[in-house]
Structure 1
Amino acid sequence: MMKNIFYKSLIGSAVLICSCAKNIEKIPLELTTIDYIFDSADSLGVNAERYLSGIYNTLPKGYNRVGPDLLDAASDDAVSSGTGSSDVFKLATGGYNSSTLPAPENMWGICYAGIRKANIFINNIDRVPLNKIVVPGFPKKHAYKAEARFVRSLLYFELIKRYGGVPITGDNVWVLGDDVKIPRNSFKQCVDYIVSECDAIEDSLRTITQTKATGEYHSITRGAGMALKSRVLLYAASPLFNGGNIESGNDKTGYTDVDNNRWKLAADAAKELIDRNEYDLVPTLFSDIFITVDGVNGKTNKEVILARLDSRSTAIEVNNGPVGFSPGTANGITSPTQELVDAFPMKNGLNINDPASGYDIGNPYTNRDPRLDMTILYNGHQWLNTSLETFEGGRSHPGNLNVETKTGYYMRKFMGPFEAQNNFSDQFHDFILFRYAEVLLNFAEARNEFSGPDNDVYQVLINLRKRAGIEEGADGMYGVSAGMSKEEMRQAIRNERRIELAFEEHRYWDLRRWKIAETAVNTALHGMSIIKGSSGRLSYTVSEVFTPMFATRQYLYPIPYDEVVKNPNMVQNPGW
């Protein structure tokens, strides 16, 4: 199977190069070769750069990639508004096996195909005289090779967070006839490999300043390599892999020992990037992060470390916006849960369950953390120049549509500023792979787990809440409680991570790496049923909408059936 993946990858990569260039069709597609792509006479490296663009296209996608759904609809943050046994429903209920894991999450072949593309580039780019073209401070050849190694490392991370230890291929590029029945490496070996790659390429990747200087705003930078290292080490230190191994003694499913120092390594990696002072939180609206692109209309966004580039469109709005407007305006596929809504504090920073918070069940969305308005569309929220109706029988919750909200909520995040407009217009919807807020939260979590809640940990929560628009308060703490224990701070950080990174494909994996999915996912999820009385008065009742299911084996995905059958050295994950 792997052999076929690698072979098809080579063919696909060559075709990609030809399809991107208007003039390459002079050479028939079937005659496009490695020698043509990496031509020693191509002084500008045109073909090699197009091949590198193809490697960039293997970066993970986000948004509505699980069929029409967000991955978060398989967590406790949302449910799909759709009906039937969709891919995301199967993920949420464990309705899959090694042969039927939904294609959007069966990343084995996709990642190894991308890894092979990167290896081809790494092994051949030195043929091309790109060293004659210098970007500020770097020969392009060095930077481009490092970028390919970054993509390869990120794809390995995408594999190990899903499957645990996987085969490491190094720089090998196999062809038909080669024996590729290689075993899985241990989880530790995979983590060590990815981290060593991040360290090795750090000085060869350009900085954010250098990529801006050449107009290559979406190129992989040194900051991206450091952010990847931070994330990998955070996962490696987390309970699922560091002490909570689902099969004790199995080095493929995690470490076989417990080492608290792994948290320090994760904290140090995040702090190293923070101390570079290259990135910062967007100081204005939280929602600006996701629709402001570097270099467009004079705007800059220092919070984005790396994003997968996409064209302008209304795809996010059409997929997820509320139903009930002009025909075809939106499909409303994502229904955020009451659990997510309740995670947002009040504007004074206090939890809604705190008696001093001022929370009013009769006006549940008043005086809340401003990020709620920028993440969730709720009854009475302004949208498309009107007041949203998600009460029972309302315009956007009529009760007679195949697809409409199941929870009384729709997703707002990532969408353009359409509160006071009549129609959608094209927006940039680049999928952010790494942003500075995540690095701050990585640091806070790892530092707290290693040594407890010190001033630096507190400052992360304060900075994020200050940017969000939460009130400072008389104590200057933005609602963050002073004197917390490690356990209390852990819950505060996890909640802040939940609301700050909602719908960015973190929650689904966080529940797993924290090893709390058996509790959090095997619990009924809720929505808000709103009844509008004859006098116009609204009554709010929390109601159960869906109960996902989770078994221990789901902490890791099954190795694809074909891989295990064709390779006797490929050991399956426990329970599959």
Structure 2
Amino acid sequence: MKKIKLAILFVLTSLVSNGCMDVLDTKPGNAYSDVDIYSNIELTERYVFYAYNSTENWGMNFADWWTRRINIENASDEAWFHFVPQNFLITRALIAPNNLGFFRNKWASYYSFVGVVNQFLVDIEDAPVAKSNPEEVAILKAEMLYLRANAYAKLINFHGGVPLIDKPFQLGDDFVVPRSSYEDCVDFIVKDLNDAIALLPDSKMTRTGPEFGRVSKGACMALKSRVLLYAASELHDPATVPNGPLYDYTKPTKWQDAADAAKELIDANAYSLVPVSSPKDYQDMFLKPNSELILGRPYSPEFPNTPNDFNTLPDKAQSPHSSGGWGLSNPTHNFVMDFKMANGKRVNEPGSGYDENAIYANRELRMYANINFQGADFRGGLLDYSSPGGADAKEAPGQIHYAATGYNLRKFLDESITIDVEQSPRRPYPLARLPEIYLNYAEAQFHLGNEEEARKYVSMVAQRVGLPAIQSSGQALLEDIKYERQMELAYEGHRFFDLRRWMDADKIAEDIQGVQWKRVDANGNLDKTGRLVMTKVQIENRSFVVANYYLPIPLSEVEKTGILQNYGY
């Protein structure tokens, strides 16, 4: 915990590299003090912009090169990261307190940003800019409250109840802070968000133009909706395991609270679904700000700095080999086969029209927008994963990062740019979108017994992509809501948490499947001119234990502070 106090020193020096020299260039880069920061509103803003680096982005974290270039989809059934020796996935039960693998710096990172926010909220109160620019400072305080709430929301999603720290440590303070209950953590987060909403004027319901990417009232309301939905979910029911104060949420109004939070944002009428009529419409929707994006992390040098590889993420990291990419996150065949047919039926459902000889034909449009597969038209050519001779086959010339599952991601990729030469000009990483809020509301209404209302809002999401309106009821309706979350929010960082809060992770911890394409002659021998055949291959054996519903507290933190370790570790 002592490291939190040092975060401010990093902020003061990093402000220069983030562009402050054009704001105040009268001092050497390492000479800015807190007096400078809080006497100049533009420098104060830059301080806040630095704290935005606590939000999610195209890379999971900065612990090493590979987690900078992939995301949390590889820790669920959505995708498989094909560098096997580094593939530390919770669903393989490899996570341990002394080896968090994929997640190993998340605890320290989030708490470092909590420290940055806490310091700001104390220092800003009597600062000169608070007197000279009171309206701007109120908005900056709201942004920081959101960022602290978001950091704590991620911490409790990963770990359950965590230590709540709301002010900077002083020299004589006890640095050992015990874990708070999960319920107290949720209350703390909701209070921060309510306080932020109160500070933001109605004109900041959305933030557009040069303010795009900054926290709005809508963003605060969206995070509140998500936090309350997660808290109401089965994982936090006292009847489930693990249980106890670190994990349980016992409020009798939990589902009504979740419904109300979502409906408040819906009724604000500040956002609307983008109409789509083709896979390209849907794919293009993620390449620029639009009417349904509530908050997106800017991915362009014209907005507050994002410390990431602009030219490599996500186009270089995720595009197929034949177009100059690394294709690091390979969608699983399991996940691809979950996409419905265009008529709204599952592939194994009677009347679906599914053809084993044309497995990608007549599927719902989000599959074509989100997944690159054998024969897909991408960057003006047809992808060919087949051996021998396919430009994306394992043995293709120069191939290093082949698609082990037989698939690459397509969602978020900008086919109009040249990889390694250009970057997509305004593409944001989506932190909150209106479809999530519709689905949050539908799920809460289902659990309140209001199935008609639940069907109405889940149908809005389904029908937007050409699927029929939802007609189901009971458990089948809940499965339809879960399906829409799976596909509408695919690869946006939701699936990992959804599977856990529903306590479905053990049910989908199945062996990871891929497909292998070959061209063979009449005798079954490889032949570049032969017929194309597909076989399923097992990529990885996965397992899941109850302890995996939460990450362990890092061993170093437990040894340093003596705080209670999570169940099962």
Verify same fold: TM over 0.5.
yes
Relative to 1, partners in 2 of residues 1:347 and 1:213: Cα closer, same or farther, differing over 3 Å? closer
Relative to 1, partners in 2 of residues 1:555 and 1:106: Cα closer, same or farther, differing over 3 Å? farther
**Identical pairs, percent:** 30
CA contact (8 A) 1:529 1:543 kept: yes
Matched, 1:398 2:394: yes
- Equivalent-residue separation in structure 2 for 1:424 and 1:493 (angstroms): 41
What displacement does 1:208 show? 6.6
What displacement does 1:101 show? 1.1
1:443 to 441, 444, 450: 441
What letter is aligned with 2:259?
A
CA deviation string 1:113-166 (max 9, x = no partner): 1111111221222323356558xxxx1121111111111111110110011111
CA contact (8 A) 2:156 2:182 kept: yes
Aligned equivalent of 2:273: 281
CA contact (8 A) 2:5 2:168 kept: no
What letter is aligned with 1:302?
S
What displacement does 1:260 show? 5.9
Aligned equivalent of 2:119: 120
Matched, 1:157 2:153: yes
CA deviation string 1:252-287 (max 9, x = no partner): 1223x5x56312211111111011110111113222
Matched, 1:507 2:500: no
Aligned equivalent of 2:549: 555
Pairs within 5 Å for 1:238-257: 238-243=233-238, 245-248=240-243, 250-255=244-249, 257=250
CA contact (8 A) 1:316 1:429 kept: no
What letter is aligned with 1:128?
P
What displacement does 1:11 show? 0.8
Pairs within 5 Å for 1:257-268: 257=250, 261-268=253-260
Aligned equivalent of 2:226: 231
Aligned equivalent of 1:110: 109
Matched, 1:270 2:262: yes
**More deviation, 209-218/122-131:** 209-218
Aligned equivalent of 1:8: 6
What letter is aligned with 2:546?
T
CA deviation string 1:338-386 (max 9, x = no partner): 2211121111222211221211111111111111111001111011221
Matched residue of 2:568: which SS? coil
CA contact (8 A) 1:207 1:221 kept: no
Pairs within 5 Å for 1:13-52: 13-19=11-17, 20-22=19-21, 24=24, 26-28=26-28, 31-39=31-39, 42=40, 45-52=41-48
Aligned equivalent of 1:468: 465
Q: Which runs of 5+ in 2 are unaligned?
A: 62-66, 301-309, 522-528
CA contact (8 A) 1:313 1:429 kept: no
What displacement does 1:56 show? 1.7
What letter is aligned with 1:538?
L
Pairs within 5 Å for 1:368-387: 368-387=363-382
Relative to 1, partners in 2 of residues 1:91 and 1:429: Cα closer, same or farther, differing over 3 Å? farther
- Equivalent-residue separation in structure 1 for 2:233 and 2:376 (angstroms): 38
**More deviation, 459-468/350-359:** 459-468
CA contact (8 A) 2:79 2:330 kept: yes
Relative to 1, partners in 2 of residues 1:213 and 1:441: Cα closer, same or farther, differing over 3 Å? closer
Matched residue of 1:22: which SS? helix
CA deviation string 1:365-409 (max 9, x = no partner): 111111111100111101122111123432212347542112211
Relative to 1, partners in 2 of residues 1:266 and 1:349: Cα closer, same or farther, differing over 3 Å? same
CA contact (8 A) 1:309 1:430 kept: yes
Matched residue of 2:386: which SS? coil
- Equivalent-residue separation in structure 2 for 1:437 and 1:63 (angstroms): 23
Pairs within 5 Å for 1:155-554: 155-170=151-166, 172-207=167-202, 212=207, 215-243=210-238, 245-248=240-243, 250-255=244-249, 257=250, 261-284=253-276, 285-293=281-289, 301-311=290-300, 313=311, 315-325=313-323, 329-393=324-388, 394-399=390-395, 401-418=399-416, 425-427=422-424, 428-454=426-452, 456-470=453-467, 478=468, 480=470, 482=471, 484-521=472-509, 523-534=510-521, 536-554=530-548
Relative to 1, partners in 2 of residues 1:398 and 1:14: Cα closer, same or farther, differing over 3 Å? closer
What displacement does 1:424 show? 7.6
Relative to 1, partners in 2 of residues 1:53 and 1:25: Cα closer, same or farther, differing over 3 Å? same
What displacement does 1:177 show? 4.5
CA deviation string 1:410-432 (max 9, x = no partner): 1100001359x999842134211
**More deviation, 98-107/426-435:** 98-107
What letter is aligned with 2:428?
D
CA contact (8 A) 2:58 2:313 kept: no
Relative to 1, partners in 2 of residues 1:119 and 1:390: Cα closer, same or farther, differing over 3 Å? same
CA contact (8 A) 1:168 1:184 kept: yes
The number of equivalent residue pairs is 537
Matched residue of 1:315: which SS? coil
What letter is aligned with 2:515?
M
What displacement does 1:179 show? 1.6
- Equivalent-residue separation in structure 2 for 1:495 and 1:442 (angstroms): 13
